[in-house]
Amino acid sequence: MLLVCGPCSAESFEQVYQTATAVKDVGVDYFRAGLWKPRTRPNGFEGVGERGVYWMKQIQQELNLKICTEVANPYMAETCLKNNFNAVWIGARTTQNPFVVEDIASCLDGSDVVVMVKNPLNPDIKLWLGAIERFEKHSITNIIAIHRGFSLTYNKYRQSPLWRIPLELKRRRHDIPVLCDPSHIAGHTDYVKEIATTAISTGFDGLMIETHIKPSDALTDSMQQLTVNQLKSLIQSLPQVISESKEDARLNSLRNQIDDIDNSIITALSERMSVSREIAKIKKQHNLAAFQSNRWEKVLTNILKEAAVNHLDINFVKELYEIIHQESIKEQNLIINKSNI
Ligand code: PEP
Ligand code: MN
């Protein structure tokens, strides 16, 4: 499991150096600290900028830790490249702008720096994949994706996790490690652990967790940064996920059963569709429309009764059958509307 920890922002030499010394003990892979801070509104603390580069290099050299920071334009990327940062991350607000991503990618062209690409703020998987592809187009081979949540609907967290999106990214790109940033999803230390636990038990490859030597003094994101002790206990509490090689035999056998059942569902759906096409030919002869509301009513009543007897959720079965029925009507209309000449 890959661990990226450190404060939201670099604030002073003492703050970053003390935090780095403490997190090194926990066994982190990368020390993170934002030097240039993208704030939603102006006039807040906007980072220490280039001044912090020297602090980070000292941490890299004296503590032998890999260092990373956020880059949001080619100048920042160039500065990190010149100063041998091990990794840079592309923030959520940058990922959603293909012009800027392209400029940063061409600046990093061919380098072996690790590029961590956070998801864009809006839940658009294509923008996230597109940003990754732009770096690949510029021969960047060390890419990591970071799930940091999406600004969509209000919930108890600061951002919506929408787990399906990072999982879909993982499905499409097995070759790219995906980390979760529970700090920015949570927005508050109270929720960091539950999000990190979900991520690890779902198969994420690691975590980026904001950690500060004294969170209450932090100039940015103070509510969500963990103390080093909180980080330690979180890491110790994470579930031990069984690795693929020693997968449980019972789990494998149950998964085989699921595969067989899925195959029967597909066969049954295909048979249902063939019968439906035969019905379409008869409807066509009698000038009947594909959609017959009385018949649909009967199908639904019957299926919901079956669902109840078999202890299935009525709403789930209703939604499923609406999709099946719609597809059936679509297929029938193809036959009914086909001209005979
Ligand atoms: C951060 O990691 O400090 C940060 C600003 O992240 P994001 O782009 O996910 O908001
Ligand atoms: Mn932050």
Residue 212 has pLDDT above 90, yes or no: yes
Name the segment(s) of the chain with CATH classification 3.20.20.70. 2-243
CA 231/CA 198 separation, integer angstroms: 16
Write the class of the CATH domain 2-243: alpha beta
**Terminal Cα distance for the chain, rounded:** 64
Q: Is 123 exposed, middle or buried (0-12, 13-18, 19+ CB in 10 A)?
A: middle
| pLDDT tens by residue, 135-145 | 999 999 999 99
Nearest-CA residue for atom 2 of ligand 1: 8
Give 154's pLDDT tier (boundaries 50, 70, 90).
low
Give the rounded distance of the alpha carbon of 235 from its chain centre. Answer: 20
The response to whether residue 34 sits with its C-beta less than 6 Å from ligand 1 reads yes
pLDDT on residue 248: 80
The response to whether residue 184 sits with its C-beta less than 6 Å from ligand 1 reads yes
CATH fold of the domain at 249-336:
Chorismate Mutase Domain, subunit A (1.20.59)
Name the segment(s) of the chain with CATH classification 1.20.59.10. 249-336
**Ligand 1 atom closest to 146 (CA):** 9
| pLDDT tens by residue, 81-133 | 999 999 999 999 999 999 999 999 999 999 999 999 999 999 999 999 999 99
Nearest-CA residue for atom 10 of ligand 1: 92
Ligand 2 centroid to residue 119 C-alpha, Å = 14
Nearest-CA residue for atom 8 of ligand 1: 91
- Please answer whether residues 26 and 231 qualify as being in contact, where contact means their C-beta atoms are separated by less than 8 angstroms: yes
The response to whether residue 8 sits with its C-beta less than 6 Å from ligand 1 reads yes
Q: How far is CA 12 from CA 5, 34, 48, 213, in A?
A: 17, 12, 8, 12
